[in-house]
Amino acid sequence: MENPVLTIVVPCYNEEEVLPETETRLSRVLNELVQDRLVSSASTILFVDDGSRDRTWALIEQFHISNPYVTGLKLAANAGHQNALLAGLMTAEAYSDCVISIDADLQDDTGVMREFVVRFREGYDVVYGVRKSRATDTWSKRATAQGFYKLMTKMGVNIRYNHADYRLLSKRALQSLEQFKEVNLFLRGIVPLIGFPSTEVYYDRLERFAGESKYPLKKMLAFALEGITSFSVKPIRFVTLTGFGFAVLSALAFIYALVGKFWGTTVSGWTSLILSIWFIGGVQLLALGLIGEYIGKIYKEVKRRPLYVIEKQMLTDVGKREYQQSAAEAAISIGGRYD
């Protein structure tokens, strides 16, 4: 096979402290890959400036002049990590055979990129970078992150344990990703849904090289909530079940209250009052839950996720042409999403 064109996508938000080192290290890794003929010499590093307020973009411009590997993308405003990453991925898709996404802070071991590429060349479309341990994370970060993975799994969201956004995606995986038109973007949950052959590469998570985490606890909680509510209708189902539970309980209370009445142990008026409270409470919750179920359905529809992803095609020449043309048109309309 021809040497594949690789693009390394790096979302950056106020990363002036770490960026020079990131540029040096990524260029070195990429250069080695090019020298060893694992990737094409047309491969690049794409820094996505996510509306930084510091000198991040100025630095990227400097690198671009002095380093032929460096390209850049600047977002008009801070769109958040996931959206910045997507902007980079969708841009790189047009001219890359594979893309590796990595954070700017050098917490993910750049040394395993070589293994990513080797796996890709073996035929894998998705290569997940998975952390071996979290020894370098602070106690609170480790606890919240682990709680997050557990909660997500309980809520029925399929995500890789200890995998952040350090991964390789092939061109066709990117093209499929493009079909997920959701506004509530949670890439870690979406990538496993794409399918295609995938594998994992393990590495040690390091400490942030410089600067501070852009994900304080508040943002992490928001991120977790976003992940759950973008992927699961379980919270709604919980309301329905509770309502059902209360309705059943009200039947028991009904018997209890009637027995009490005939035994004469209650004051008058209590029976009817208490029964109404239980029954109406149960019915209300049940009704709320039911409405929720329908909203859940609407919510799924509104997202307009693709129902399937085509892995191979066996078409006539005319069919192929049409297919390619429609793919090209789709790419144009989707391209406008972050313009």
Residues that bind Mg ion (CB under 5 A): 103, 105, 107
Nearest to 196, CA basis, from 220, 180, 172: 172
Nearest to 153, CA basis, from 220, 230, 222, 232: 232
Beta bridge partners of 11: 48
Q: For residue 325, give Cα distances in angstroms to 246, 307, 319, 322, 328.
A: 56, 21, 10, 5, 5
CB 178 within 8 A of CB 75: no
Nearer to ligand UDP, 38 or 177 (CB): 177
Minimum Å distance from CB 105 to ligand UDP? 4
Nearer to ligand UDP, 12 or 92 (CB): 12
Collapsed DSSP state (helix, strand, coil) of residue 127? strand
Nearer to Mg ion, 22 or 271 (CB): 22
Q: Which residues bind ligand UDP (CB under 6 A)?
A: 11-13, 15, 50, 78, 80-81, 84, 103-105, 107, 213-215
Residue spans of beta strands (DSSP E) within 133-285: 163-170, 198-203
Residue 253 interacting partner from Mg ion, ligand UDP, none (CB closer than 5 to 8 Å by kind): none
Residue 144 interacting partner from Mg ion, ligand UDP, none (CB closer than 5 to 8 Å by kind): none
Minimum Å distance from CB 15 to ligand UDP? 5
Nearer to ligand UDP, 220 or 274 (CB): 220
Minimum Å distance from CB 157 to ligand UDP? 18
Nearer to ligand UDP, 80 or 129 (CB): 80
Q: Which pair of structure tokens corresponds to residue 242?
A: 């509770």
Q: What are phi and psi of 338, to 5 degrees?
A: -115, 15
Residue 246 interacting partner from ligand UDP, Mg ion, none (CB closer than 5 to 8 Å by kind): none
